Amino acid sequence: MATERNIIAGMKVWVEDSELAWVDGEVINVGNGHAAILTSKGSKLSIPFSKIHPRDVDTQPGGVDDMTKLSYLNEPSVLYNLASRYELNDIYTYTGNILIAVNPFTKLPHLYDVHMMEQYREAPFGQLNPHVFAVADASYRAMINEQLSQSILVSGESGAGKTETTKLIMQYLAYMGGRSVTDNRSVEQQVLESNPVLEAFGNAKTVRNDNSSRFGKFVEIQFDKNGKISGAAIRTYLLERSRVVQISDPERNYHCFYQLCASPEDVDIYKLGDPRVFHYLNQSNTYELDGVSNAEEYSKTRRAMDVVGINLEEQEAIFRILAAILHLGNIEFSPGREHDSSTLKDQTSAFHLQNAAELFMCDAKQLQDTLCTRIIMTREGNITKSLDPSSATINRDALAKTVYSRLFDWLVDKINKSVGQDSDSRTLIGVLDIYGFESFKNNSFEQFCINLANEKLQQHFNQHVFKMEQEEYSKEEINWSYIEFIDNQDVLDLIERKPVGIISLLDEACMFPRSTHETFATKLFQSFKNHSRFKKPKLSLTDFTISHYAGEVTYQANLFLEKNRDYSIVEHHSLLSSSKCPFVAGLFPPSLEDTSKSSYKFSSVATRFKQQLQALMETLSLTEPHYIRCVKPNSGNRPGNFENLSVLHQLRCGGVLEAVRISCAGYPTRRTYDEFLDRFGLLAPKFVGTQNNEKAATEELLQRLNLSNYQLGKTKVFLRAGQMAEMDARRAEALNNAAKVIQRQFRTFIARKEFNRKRRAALKIQCYWRGWLARKLYKVMRREAASVIIQKYIRRWLSQKVYIHLRFAVNTIQAGIRAYFVRREYQLKRQTLAALKIQKNWRMWKARSYFLHLRVATISFQCAWRCRLARKELHRLKLAERETGALREAKNKLEKRCEELTWRLQLEKRLRADAEESKSLEIRKLQNALEEMQLESDAAKALALKEKEANLVLRNKLEVATNQSSALEESYVKIQDLTRENQSLKISVESLEKKVADTHRELVISQNETDERLRKVKEVESNIAQLQETVHRLEEKLSNLESENQVLRQQALVVSPTNGLTNHATPMILQKTPEAQQVSQGSQHSMFENQRALVKCVIQDVGFSNDKPVAACIIYKCLLQWHAFEAEITPVFDHIIQTIGLIIEEKDDNDALSYWLSNTSTLIFLLQRNLKPSGVSTTPQRRYPGSVTLIGRMTQGFKSPSNHGSSGTGGTFGAHEGIQQVEAKYPAILFKQQVTTYLEKIYGILRENVKKDIGPLLSLCIQAPRMSRASMSKGSRSPNMIGATQQVLSSHWHSIIKILNSLLSKLRANHVPPLLVCKLFTQVFSFINVQLFNSLLLRRECCSFSNGEYIKSGLAELEQWICEASEQYAGTSWDELRYIRQAVGFLVIHQKAKKTLDEIMQDICPVLTVQQLYRISTMYWDDKYGTQSVSREVFASMKMMMTRSSQNASANTFLLDDDTSIPFSVDELTKGMSDVDLSDVETPPLLRDISAFHFLQENT
């Protein structure tokens, strides 16, 4: 409330308004106790100071999440804070530890999914945005930590969402409390699914709500010592029994009646029909609810009954009773023959009476007598008194209400028995769902009881709020002893006090049969005429008004007496207890009460309700309470509509404004010292700027402002009501003065700027004028200078012309003289050159003639020598031709032998008994033949090579002769004496030349023949290759024959000399021989010892050998050596799996996990590569060692198996050799699956460990700017703090990078495959993205500009780490951060209001959904520059898009889910790993001295 002291012109205020409750305005002027105000609606008002409330202009556009943070804690501030948050779909708001929930009237599934529950799990209260899960988590954590029972009180008017809020609380407690299962149904599931049953029998349509609870419900959820739900109980209060027989339009009776009438299968059974024909239902014209099918709801109710344990017989009895109640309502009475007697009105009444009797399974005549008569018991005997029609009708309605009440109590008791209660439970959480304060046009007995309950709860609420205020004051160590507590005990005394309370007077009036509502009202007026809370309306004789905490309520006393009387009629009890239906009889057990005086036993409904309230309050007093106030934003149940008057009324009825008044009675305004100094430090800037102690600075500031009655706590300053407004007025005045100074300086600046502008203009004009004069003078001077220059150049040209003429004449004379001397010298040189040329040609001719003679002689000599060599070579070629014929004969012989082999193989099929011997003989023969063919082919190739070598020799000799020609030229003088001899030999040389030509032709022919022979040899090689393929196919056929005749082959292996080959091919057959079995039995103990030694070695950290894990390699080698993969039963697999499991359970550090991740991945790689399932036929791909020809490679395939090394092992250890797969049996396949499971388990544990280490740091990163804002503000006054604060801010990101570096170094040190490292870091960065993004969207204080800059800097450091880690290990980790990167990018961009929705969704945030963008836009606030979020047009477009996609439940969520799957498969892992060479793996020292493991060293 404002005063003249704190109201100044220009101040923003709130004033009352008839339409909007409160409207904002601005003070124009102040005077005479009034203020002239211009409202936002455009009207000018003159308002007294007492009706004006100051408005905080510095509040955030989206409101505050806790209304205790409001600068002015008053009605309009609270109302408009809720309205602004509701507009942004923030339906939850705190008031201290009280949660206010505004019903959105639309589904918001993203607010209540499992992921949201996980976010609020163990989160400190108030850290995240307000939510019903936060209250539930706070109660659960308080119960676990303090071992004290808790209670959550949910209140609000009909339609405010109390029931849904209760369901959400139950859902969260079920999520936190685990699963204590009984009878295959969890306790929480039964409690949750009991709601449809209780809603069907206890809810009805009212004026304000289609599904209003007409009873109070207190659910006790019991927990065991481990915090798990172990039991539950439901307590109900004040079921509105009168609704069964009396309703008003447009309300309805309880839902179960309409559901039963809509059931197609039960209508005929119970003789029901349209609800319009039943009196208890047709008093209102409303039979259907919008969007609700009674038939479907009936089916849901039936299913819910099955869940809570109500069997089919009990269900049939329940609905039979409901049908009987409907038939009872249609029984009408008319006056009988005797005075004051009654009888059935017509046949219709008789029909319904008969149906009711049949459904109750009692006698129809006895039922009629019970309704129409009354038995009075006296000393002389029983007297039967007839009832008139009105009394009979009242008697009928009493029976209907009694039966329905008993039925409802039985349902509640049945649900409690079905759920079960834990007698050993010491703690519980109670959830109270009770009707809110009601004030209608006509208020009767029900509203009186409901408002009494709310008065009781309000007193408890006030005490709790006052207690919280005391705790706050005690925590801050301030003096609060003189604070006055606001209480409503006088209202409770007015209603409950004995013997003159309203309830006592009502019970007294009900005891007298002749009392009426007039006498009761008169008694009230006489008893409370001087009570301040009781009033008598002027225009009514029976109405009375009570001033409740929420306002005055006028009650109509007309039906108080009838509704308070709860007669227990003996005739009704006797009739139904004798029913043939056990269920009906069970509702009315025999009573031991004395019935000697009257058959009517009076029971006061109000007194019983007061006792229930007292028991409830005692239960609540033993628990720690938590409050949730539900608010209905509008009466039309429309989403997005906020009616101020209605909400304000509910805030008053819900006690929220009462809590505000309690706060205002003490110190409603409380601010931390840094916030206070930031806001009001400008009032004393010199002093505040020099103080490092904030408390001392605050105290000095308050003293300078002459304020009193304030309190200084440890961390906060507490101000009385009105002091904040006074300080804001002074702050506004200081700001106004500062604005005036700024304006004065600004105007001076503008005037000086204008003067300087004119001065510069004048100087510029003068400058231009002087320039024009200077240019004119310069032009004259330039012309004079140009004239002088022209004259100079003309004179120079004339002189130059004369000089050129004279020089030309002189040059002509000189040229003629010089030409004469030059021609004479040229003639002389020409003659000399001609003579030299003649001499040169003569000498050249003589030399050439000599050289030609010498060359002819040399060629003749060479031709003779070559002829001799050619004849020798021709002789050799003829010999080679004879040898080629022998090669053809060998080829024919080989073909014949191949045909013979084919014939013999066909004969093998017919002669199975002696197949082995003939086969071995043929193979030997074929082997020898092939060896001979190879030798012959090698010889033919050698001949061809020799021929080529001879040709090379001839060419070399020719080159030598050519080289010698140069030497011959040098010895020209020495050979002159041989010229005559060469001349004589000329004739013989010519003849030799002819012979050489002939020899050359023969040589060419021989060369062609040689090429032809080589071509034929190549054809022979191709034929041999085809023969090799044929032999290979024959070998496959032979193996098929061996598999068909396994028994015969076993016998042949014993006697055949070639068993070495079979031994290499089929090792398993040897194991089945008697000798092998004897050896196996003898070495069984040693095998067990070997397995123990292997397990002992595996337990130790044997490290790595050549970057390969030793443990995995020796395990695979041992299993392969022991033939464990091919065994049907072997214990070695179980020993290894158990060992790995024990090691993983004992060692959970990242180093050990990385070591075993490397081992298991390598072992999986070896198993996947070298094992094949049993029964799968595969063709082995043989890789033969290098050979010279195809014949050599083919013959090597038939060599003895002993040449390949030891059987079964040597072929698989070397990576350079071919992959020989082992046929694995079922234990081996199971072992592979178990190792795969452990690989995934180790990967998951390692990933969760990293998440566990990074998670707290991410929370610090997202909250660091907010947490350091206070210290930063201190740093503004203490410069030494700035560096420390910045260091703390960056330390969180450095810690994360340190963890990532440590993890990467451990993984690389243990040689984990890069594929797994890449997958691991990809999921870790996805977790970082999810945590940062979800935290940003859940905390409004973190969704700020400065926080965006801080996170952006941290992401830059992560990007640098990813680049340093390389793509091999980091992979696509940077892409996993795309959500938080784009969200942060949106936070830090400037001029958001100018951005369109298309620009935001396509350019800035293409990955984010509309829901996420809307959430960020609504929560954004600029704490650095004070800019606004996106424009209203963009908000409207977002809302439209969200409305279109609201049908899709997945599209409504704005949070991200963390990926906890295994991101790789075995095939992907196998393809991504490099080959493992087992030959260079060193044997561990523990196994080197054991002889059974020497095979590991032999293969190394």
Contact (CB, 8 A) for 12 and 731: no
Task: Give the 3-state secondary structure of residue 94.
Answer: strand
Both tokens of 141, joined, read 């954590």
Contact (CB, 8 A) for 54 and 728: yes
Sequence-separated (6 or more) residues with CB below 8 Å from residue 1372 = 1322
Both tokens of 324, joined, read 């009987």
Task: Give the 3-state secondary structure of residue 404.
Answer: helix
Contact (CB, 8 A) for 30 and 84: no
Find residue 552's DSSP bridge partners. Answer: 547
> Which of 127, 62, 125 shows the shortest CA–CA distance to 97?
125
Task: Answer yes or no: 212 catalytic.
Answer: yes
Q: What are phi and psi of 88, to 5 degrees?
A: -95, 15
> Which of 202, 212, 83, 198 shows the shortest CA–CA distance to 159?
212
DSSP annotation string for 220-276: EEEE-TTS-EEEEEEEEE---GGGGT---TT---BHHHHHHHT-TTTTTTTT---GG
Which residue in the list 436, 501, 655, 1371 is annotated as catalytic?
436
How far apart, in whole angstroms, are the C-alpha atoms of residue 1493 and residue 1500? 12
Encode 992-1001: b = buried (16+ Cβ within 10 Å), e = exposed: beebbeebee
Contact (CB, 8 A) for 1253 and 1296: no
Task: Answer yes or no: 159 catalytic.
Answer: yes
How far apart, in whole angstroms, are the C-alpha atoms of residue 9 and residue 37? 9
Which residue in the list 71, 163, 1347, 1418 is annotated as catalytic?
163
Contact (CB, 8 A) for 1241 and 1144: yes
Task: Answer yes or no: 213 catalytic.
Answer: yes
| CA–CA distances in Å: residue 573 to residues 328, 569, 579, 1364 | 16, 6, 10, 87
Sort 177 into a burial class: Cβ within 10 Å, 0-12 / 13-18 / 19+: buried
Which residue in the list 139, 149, 203, 213 is annotated as catalytic?
213
Q: What are phi and psi of 672, to 5 degrees?
A: -70, 155
Task: Answer yes or no: 436 catalytic.
Answer: yes
Find residue 235's DSSP bridge partners. Answer: 218
With tokens 């959400």, the residue in question is 168
Both tokens of 1088, joined, read 């067990």
How large is the angle between the packed helices 445-476 and 656-665, nearest 10 degrees? 40
How far apart, in whole angstroms, are the C-alpha atoms of residue 802 and residue 798? 7
Sequence-separated (6 or more) residues with CB below 8 Å from residue 1207 = 1063, 1064, 1067, 1201
Task: Answer yes or no: 1008 catalytic.
Answer: no
How far apart, in whole angstroms, are the C-alpha atoms of residue 1288 and residue 1286? 5
With tokens 């309050």, the residue in question is 617
Contact (CB, 8 A) for 625 and 617: no
Sort 830 into a burial class: Cβ within 10 Å, 0-12 / 13-18 / 19+: exposed
How far apart, in whole angstroms, are the C-alpha atoms of residue 334 and residue 340? 10
Which residue in the list 158, 999, 1159, 1326 is annotated as catalytic?
158
Task: Answer yes or no: 784 catalytic.
Answer: no
Task: Give the 3-state secondary structure of residue 1255.
Answer: helix
Length of the chain: 1500
Which residue in the list 6, 93, 97, 212 is annotated as catalytic?
212
| CA–CA distances in Å: residue 1204 to residues 1038, 1185, 1207, 1211, 1212 | 21, 11, 8, 8, 12
Which residue in the list 438, 571, 643, 936 is annotated as catalytic?
438
* Distance between start and end Cα atoms, the chain: 93
How far apart, in whole angstroms, are the C-alpha atoms of residue 1402 and residue 1408? 10
How far apart, in whole angstroms, are the C-alpha atoms of residue 328 and residue 1437? 58
Which residue in the list 63, 159, 655, 1371 is annotated as catalytic?
159
How far apart, in whole angstroms, are the C-alpha atoms of residue 624 and residue 591? 39
With tokens 């990926």, the residue in question is 1459
List, by residue number, the catalytic residues.
158-159, 163, 209, 212-213, 436, 438
